Amino acid sequence: MDWTWYLFGFQGRINRAKYWLGGLVMLGWALFVAWIIFLPLHLVADGEPIPASLDFSTGTIFAIFDPATYHLPSRADVIPIIANVIGMPVIMWIYVATSIKRLHDRDRSGWWMLPFVVVPVLYGHFADRLPYSILAMLGLTVVVFSIWGWIEMACLKGTAWTNRFGANPLGKQRSRPRGDRRRGFRLSGWDQHSELELLPHRASPPPAMHVKRGHD
């Protein structure tokens, strides 16, 4: 498997198993970043308390653009900030790349990431600052799209045929559904030359009709 394409590419398709594997890769990277940051601190801390919580969620990304979160970092904030600067770009890239390829497997454009992921995350981050009327109107919609997106990317099978984003990653190709075949037939029209086969005319009768002449 081409790991560079799998983890960082946005073209093509991946199946459900590789989508879940991408989640394990992101978890492994987060643990690795935490280890390489906290281990040196434990060696030089001399019994001083060390912050032991890291947040690699998508809310951290949107907090960067939220003026309400701006403040002078304390000593306890320095370590999480360093960890996020190192870990979050890789995690987010892998997440977006694998999610888009999984949507391709479902024959959906990567733009479906907007209602499935971006809008719910934005809603969750800014919900406490929205008026109640907007919360009531958007809340149910966000929940529906969140559940729908999770089912689409994590649970449902991809198209069994070659779709507009590539071949079936499982290697099991199947013809398109009958509705697609009919639609293609209507668009292409009837090809008379491919349906009719004209045989050349023979002047002589078939062999069974030849008369055997006797000897005089």
For the chain, the domains span 3-66+75-154
What pLDDT does 7 receive?
A: 95
pTM of the predicted model as reported, rounded to 2 decimal places? 0.69
Provide the percentage of residues in the chain whose pLDDT is more than 90.
37
Q: What is the mean pLDDT of residues 2-10?
A: 94
Q: What is the mean pLDDT of residues 147-175?
A: 90
pLDDT in tens, 201-214: 555 555 555 555 55
Residue 183: C-alpha distances to residues 77, 104, 108, 171, 193 (Å): 59, 22, 19, 25, 20
Q: What is the mean pLDDT of residues 166-172?
A: 88
Confidence class of residue 97 from pLDDT cuts 50, 70 and 90?
very high
